[in-house]
Amino acid sequence: MFKSIVVFLCVTFSVNSYCQVVNGYAKVNSITGSTLLSVSSVDEVGDTFEDGEFVIIMQVQDDVIGGNINDNLSFGNLGSINSAGLYEVGIIASHTETSGLPTTITLVNTLNETYNINPNSSVQLITFPTLGSPDYTTTTNMLAKGWNGNVGGVIAFNVNGTLTIAHSITASGAGFNGAVANGGSSTGCVPNSNYRVPFGVNSANKGEGIYKISNANYAAGRARVLNGGGGGNSHNAGGGGGGNFSVGGIGGLGWNCNPTAGGMGGLDLSAHISSNRIFFGGGGGAGEGNNGFGRQGENGGGIIFIKAIELKTTICGSGVMISADGNSSTLTSNNDGNGGGGAGGSIVFEVDSWNLAAACPLTVTNNGGDGGDVGHSGQHGGGAGGGLGAILFSSTVPTSNILIENSPGAGGANCFTCTSAPNGGGTNGSGILTLGPTPLPIELIDFKAILNSNLQVDIKWTTFTEINNDFYSIERSIDAKSWDVLIEKEGAGNTTTILDYHTLDVRPLFGVSYYRLKQTDFDGSYTYSEIRSVNLDRLKSKSSTVYPNPATNLLMIEGEGLSKKSITIFNSLGQSMNNNFNFNEVSYSHSVLNIEGLPSGIYYLSISSEVIRFCKL
């Protein structure tokens, strides 16, 4: 399969430029109480952080290397994935600024995941704007700001209606950075040592991956660093390809080397990819050079989040593209090693329906980048190909008027007539996944059921977004097993506005009762909230006395403020039994009730704001 290559020329990275950046970015320095985020390195060129707006929090890197830090082949392998790649959506409750830029951001919601802040991690916050009202048509090409070690690499937006794609959207090359070329000297062929060494010695630099290198002694050498490709070793070996959904290739052999001294390919992270955990493509390792022709590794692909009710194309001529490819090397290295290709990144489609026109087909690409060639007659080290990216669909993958490319990068030639460095791992199309709903559809923030002073239950809930939401049902139960519909309320259909709902259970059950919220879509599918309980028994009489208890025919009440209107009897189901008793006497402080008409059982006597339980024999 031939890969699509798209070049975007942008005047600036501003909202009004030829290539539109629609996101703001901020580095997260600390998280307090799962809601308060301290931020820095804020970039608001594309969008600003404002109260009431959505954001995505993402753990880009984490301390995942574990004990794999020795100078051997296992350096850079995965210890534990920890929180690397996790993401979720929140909403800004408030923020503080210094010199016009946010310094703290407080979220409405408590974070579901744990995000780790340490020297080997990176956590960032990305604005998640809603475009259109509700429909939106692109006006120019969209571009992700490149990852700079603190922020960037992501393009993300939401459309509450139909998103019409009339321009291309790319995060290609916006992910983890390829290694810079190392101009150090060389020794003889070194295939089985120098797995991790400092920058500037006889081994090339490693590409960037999900472990942030904080130790200068780990910067170069043949071993990978998680999904970042390893650097070529002496003499003139090629850099390893970056990894993501599949492993990157191993760099080319090198001068007079057999076995290869090429950099190891970045790790395959496919076992850890899920609806709430995705990764940048790993950067390619650099080729080792001593003659000034060693080449850099290439950047991995970034991340694209697209959330819409419908994604549509119309008449646009040659078609449009959504891409998160790893970069390919385009320069030869003459008589030095060349760099590895970057791995494909990640594309997430939270799209309910697709309407793609034959006159305007859509191309989606998430390929590994190609390694660089050696432009010399003698064997040196070509760069290895990058691994596959991941393309995640929340529902069925569309098949009409769409081309999806998902292939590993090709290895570069080791010389004019030599064999090539290995391709990236994985088979075409294996990174195309259907994983169901992602964390993008934030819906229910909170659901509460609280007994008020009028002995009624206040039922309140708040939503972030509603997608295809038909109606809500409040259900009540006496045992949390059998449920009855108490109240129904109309939903808002499709919205990303925070909405507050309130209703009352004016005749609550006595004793412990349970409430849950059922949300039903237009297609009949539904979800339930967590269950809340209310205990009406907790209100005991402090000023009134009821006797005898148990009672047979008469029930005496001693208290204050008694009247026919202030006295009600309910059964255990909350049903009024006022038609089953009579008042023999009523005064301000003393009343006598004839309860012969009540069947035997447990009842609740409501006197103003008091509830007293009694038994009728």
Q: Please give the pLDDT value at position 445.
A: 66
Are residues 292 and 223 located together in one domain of the fold?
yes
- Which segment of 280-289, 507-516, 532-541, 600-609 scores lowest on mean pLDDT? 532-541
pLDDT at 540: 43
Tell me which H or E stretch contains 335. Answer: none
Do 167 and 199 reside in the same domain of the chain? Answer: yes
pLDDT in tens, 306-345: 999 899 999 887 789 999 999 999 999 999 999 999 999 9
Which residues fall within 8 angstroms of residue 304, CB to CB, at 6 or more apart? 144, 154, 155, 156, 169, 171, 322, 324, 345, 346, 347, 348
pLDDT band at 12 (very low <50, low <70, confident <90, very high): very low
Which of 402, 425, 440 lies at the terminal end of a domain, its last residue?
440
For the cut 80, the answer to whether the pLDDT of residue 498 exceeds it is no
The more confidently predicted of residues 340 and 290 is 340
- Boundary of a domain, candidates 478, 512, 537: 537
What is the token pair recorded at 182? 């190392």
Q: Are residues 358 and 337 in the same domain?
A: yes
* pLDDT, mean of residues 224-251: 97
Report pLDDT for 128. 94
What does residue 101 show for φ and ψ, rounded to 5 degrees? -120, 145
pLDDT in tens, 40-84: 999 999 999 998 788 999 999 999 999 999 999 999 999 999 999
How many residues belong to the chain? 617
Q: What is the domain-level CATH number for residue 453?
A: 2.60.40.10
Q: Are residues 181 and 208 in the same domain?
A: yes
The single-letter DSSP state of residue 279 is -
Give yes or no: residues 423 and 470 share one domain.
no
Q: Residue 114: which domain range? A: 1-440
Render pLDDT for 574-584 as a digit per residue (tens, 0 to 9).
788 888 888 88
Q: Are 536 and 455 in contact (CB under 8 A)?
A: yes
Note the pLDDT of residue 496.
61
Give the separation between CA 260 and CA 239, rounded to whole angstroms: 11
pLDDT score of 3: 43
Residue-wise burial string across 184-222, b where 16 or more C-beta atoms lie within 10 A, e elsewhere: bebeebbbeebbbbebebbbbbbbbbbbbbeeeebbbbb
Provide the whole-model pTM.
0.76
- Say which DSSP state 218 is in: G
Encode pLDDT of 543-598 as tens digits. Answer: 678 888 888 888 888 877 788 888 888 887 778 888 888 888 887 778 888 999 89
For the chain, the domain total comes to: 3
Question: Which of 424, 440, 456 is at the close of a domain?
Answer: 440
Lowest-pLDDT range, 154-163, 382-391, 464-473?
464-473
